[in-house]
Structure 1
């Protein structure tokens, strides 16, 4: 008997620890799903009313939701929502409706601090510092105020205001010192490898060793010209006597000016 009682007690203990499944038909905190929909509609209407500048509104009745009198509310009816500009195009009694004017109509800007008022028919209202909608894409509106002569006058006025700036010499870069290898390249005419200057005991192996000391042919050419080149080859880096050290080539600079 004791052996049979022990499994029964174990089963009852496990059943007591099992979590309870909530009732799905109990609603979502508002009594029923219809009331939940109604509450969400109220909150959306309140946000829209706050953005539009109105004070208190009540959301339109959702399908299946209780009537406004059955559920406590601090808002107003659907007619009041229409007066606030929500859900209906009809304005409340005593309010002023402003409809967008057609493109090309006149623009009326009220004085600072002036109350909002109805504008004349065919006029676009521009409140405060908000700019009006441009009508530059409306051919009829632009054609009504512009002509070929007005375009010509505007172009002439812009040309009269044009300021011509004379070109100035390009300043030297900081740290850019030494001979101008571009000017030297444009002064020369002999091709690379053709001797133009005498060399005493030229040595190609010595030139190869000395050229390895320079990071680029441009730097070697500047050092060559600064040391008396092209007439003199103090560092032995122009053994063929063409005036171009360490394989430096003036052809790219010549082609840039059409030579």
Structure 2
């Protein structure tokens, strides 16, 4: 009795067994087998119905909406299919690139005689300019402290000019503060009759240099 019941249960389970759908890859006895397809990569899975089963209006709509391959414009380069059977691309137009550094290209259109003639033509265009003397200074720009420093041989602080005046120290400090620099003070000192005369008291020690102006840097530049 138990054997009969067991055999009946086995038959019931076999009838209820649901087949496993194909996953799209393919299996055979547990071994993996990749699917081989003749369909090229990137192609869509949707296929069009036969032409005889489609009306002419539908075919016109499909033809009008079909993608059109883009064509290269005038400023773009044409696409080149990478294939060993295709020859290497060759640049046809290169007028914008100079070939002056290409000896073979230059040698094909020039000769030694041509180069010699070109050098003569370039030499004929040279213009020789005769040297002239520098223009004389008109003296309208005021005293030249550089020239004064180079020509002066008196050391700083050595009295060679006579100075007379009361309260010389205070006058010196007050008047020198009115100048932005000692160079400006020396220019004004020379324009007012210095170094022999010192109406503003800018050179109380009589060395010929106003407001502690130092001619040494200019003397070194002058040699």
Q: TM-score, normalised by structure 1?
A: 0.46
Give structure 1 stretches of 5+ with no counterpart: 1-60, 90-98, 102-123, 126-130
Give structure 2 stretches of 5+ with no counterpart: 1-39, 49-58, 82-89
**Deviations 1:68-125 (CA, angstroms, capped at 9, x unpaired):** 98944478976x959x974357xxxxxxxxx635xxxxxxxxxxxxxxxxxxxxxx67
> Post-superposition shift, 1:213?
1.1
Instruction: Sort the Cα spacing of 1:251 and 1:142 in 2 relative to 1 into closer, same or farther, 3 A.
Output: farther
C-alpha distance in 2 between matches for 1:197 and 1:149 = 76
Query: How many equivalent residue pairs?
Result: 158
Pick from 188, 196, 203 the counterpart of residue 152 of structure 2. Answer: 188
- Report the aligned-residue RMSD: 4.4
Q: Looking at both structures, which has the greater relative contact order when contacts are Cα pairs under 8 Å and sequence separation is at least 6?
A: 2
* 2:79 maps to 1:87: yes
Could you say what secondary structure the match of 1:209 adopts? helix
Match in the other structure for 1:209: 174
**Deviations 1:2-30 (CA, angstroms, capped at 9, x unpaired):** xxxxxxxxxxxxxxxxxxxxxxxxxxxxx
> Post-superposition shift, 1:191?
2.4
> Post-superposition shift, 1:215?
1.1
Instruction: Sort the Cα spacing of 1:231 and 1:166 in 2 relative to 1 into closer, same or farther, 3 A.
Output: same
C-alpha distance in 1 between matches for 2:157 and 2:111 = 68
C-alpha distance in 2 between matches for 1:153 and 1:170 = 45
Q: TM-score, normalised by structure 2?
A: 0.52
Match in the other structure for 1:35: none
> Post-superposition shift, 1:64?
2.0
Match in the other structure for 1:243: 208
Q: For the Cα contact (< 8 Å) 1:81–1:88, is it kept in 2?
A: no
